[in-house]
Chain A
Amino acid sequence: MEALELARLQFAVTGGLHFLFVVLTLGLAPLVAIMHTRQALAGGPLRERMTRFWGQIYVVNYALGIVTGLVMEFQFGLSWSGLSHYAGDVFGAPLAMETLVAFFLESTFLGLWIFGWGRLPKWAHVACIWLVTLTAYASAFFIMAANSFLQNPAGAVESGGRLRLVDFGALLTNKALVFSFPHVIGAGLFTGAMVLAGASAYQLRRRTSEVEFFSRSLRTGVVVAAIGIFLTVGFGYAQFSGVQEGKLSQAGLPFAVMVESGNLLMLLVLFVMLPMIRVLPRWRWTHPVLMVLTPVPFVLAIMGWLVREMGRQPWMIWGKLTVADAMTPGLTTSMITGSLVGFAAVLGLLAVVDYVLIARVVRRGPRDLDLGSVREPALTY
């Protein structure tokens, strides 16, 4: 393969891996924040264990979101410096906002939340997880704003062979952004909710002793899944009017998979799962179905990105800069092969390990949780 194809593959692999973890982060963050708030309001051991159990899944998942995100960020400079050279004055602004403000605060508050258990006053601790949620959504907004600029370069004009920012407001009200951002947020909520439902179904199927814990979690999952899929599909269709001619047909297969499955899932969630919400925890035959559905939102989220990024080809910035021109001049096949193998192998392995660890948390259920623990569990030597 040519250096260009390899560089695209590298970005697709790291970007795809990154989003698999980010989409769950976006869904679980508000759910954990709500659980923590209810714990603070009403108290009780059940609510505390719900916060810690789903919180632990949230933070174990978060680990891979961070490390894949680091590689993503630096790839712009390594492989795509033509982009910063031509449009850095515009594209760099939302990226700088994301890293300098949104993610900076998110990481700081997450550290306070994870390690603040038993140290921070109750409401200050609750405030931390809400601030993590808020800044995570702000991060998603700025990243989507940057991506939307590539899809539809609003707010900039070309002068002297480079793009110049003339209207920052136009960057944030881009027609490629206003519906795609809530679409992504909906997909995140749907993914997080389906993980709640699937993991709870697994425990109930295994005749867990934690019946109330997982029945409640399952019902929460179904309600939020209904909200999430409604937002995702609704804002998905709303994007059609603003998409440039030819983009959707260019991403035929992933587009068909996403739309058809999305429609089916919406029917299933709104007209089957939601009406059955009372009986779902008891009807054990439904549990394998819910378990099988858990990975589906992740697959569809990747399809969504394929549609968006394949549709843009061959442009890096629609109508302005091609992907080939955006590649770093001088990037050789051997350089990109070396880094591709390194990143794909290390991040791929870590992703597998992370999913095994999440599955382990789900299997063990809400006992001996690390998050918020004050007592050392027995080490098995």
Chain B
Amino acid sequence: MELIWFAVFSLLLAGYFALEGFDLGVGLLLPVLGRSAATRDRMVAAMAPYVLANEVWLVAVAGTLFGVYPALEHEVLFGLYPVVVAMLLSWVVRDAGLWFRRRAGGARWRGFWDLMIALGSLGLSFGWGTALYGVVTGSWLSPPGLMLGVLVTLLFAFHGWTFLAWRSPGLAGVTRSGRALAISGGAAALPAAGVLLGSMPYLLDHSAPAATLGVLSVIALPFAPVVVAAQVWVWRTFRPGKDAVRIPSFF
């Protein structure tokens, strides 16, 4: 039972890195590739249909942390207090940028929120590197922690670029296959997967008691096929093609 929930937790966290990683990567690339407002519109439109289905993986990670590893929640979240607060604020600002950028006219309005998307994506990507290092070592404010922040940011940017090249080749200047996207997703998930594997014995040892895991299994696991089907439906509906990136897009 502990093993099943460790697998669920790991899948959710690594899945978050592999999926939301490209959304954050596209956000990071906005000021780099998106020199014109029209290009930025197309870049955001390329990722827009996936964002809601991707970011929710982290919401599920946090819920699973509370349900399956209540004893660890304190260590992980409180131990990294300033990092977690900064990451939350980055996430909030990134999301607000996406929802608000097209809600009013004016190039300056849209330009401002595009900057917020880029800064929020940067804060969240960099924060993930330092947070992962902090979880393992207990101290995040150190040269290796900051280096991991830079590494995760670069991995996400590369993943975002691969995603653009897959879904809308004109934006990245090259074309990449779905297989290349899967590989860059795997690369983006590597830091998270490494930490998960390393802390596996510790996590298994600190799982919630059998009664709680039993209830969670009985009521949550039957929905797993539905959740997977919904995610597959997103990927099928918005797959690349002649008319993949539509303007106007809601984001």
Contacts and interface: CB of A to CB of B under 8 A. Distances in A.
B249 A115 contact: yes
B89 A100 contact: no
Interface centre among A99, A109, A119, A164, by most chain B C-beta atoms within 10 angstroms, is: A99
Contacts of A120: 237
Interface stretch (B67-75, B149-157, B195-203): B67-75
A92 B78 contact: no
A93 B216 CA distance: 6
Contacts of A360: 103-104
A105 interface: yes
B211 interface: yes
B104 A108 contact: no
A302 to B, nearest CB: 21
Interface string B63-86: 111111011011011100110110
Nearest to A77: B77
B23 to A, nearest CB: 11
B95 A66 contact: yes
B60 A70 contact: no
A93 B48 CA distance: 32
B63 A99 contact: yes
Interface stretch (B132-140, B170-178, B224-232): B224-232
Contact of B215 (A112, A118, A168, A331): A168
Nearest to A89: B212
9 contacts: A59-B250, A77-B78, A84-B73, A96-B64, A101-B220, A105-B223, A112-B53, A168-B219, A350-B96
The secondary-structure label for the interface of chain B is helix
B66 A346 contact: no
A89 B92 contact: no
Contacts of B209: 89, 164
A303 B96 CA distance: 27
Contacts of B106: 379-381
* Chain A CB within 10 A, most for which of B73, B220, B246: B73
B248 interface: yes
B59 A370 contact: no
A115 B216 CA distance: 32
Given A60-B103, A77-B65, A112-B237, A107 B56 contact: yes
B88 interface: yes
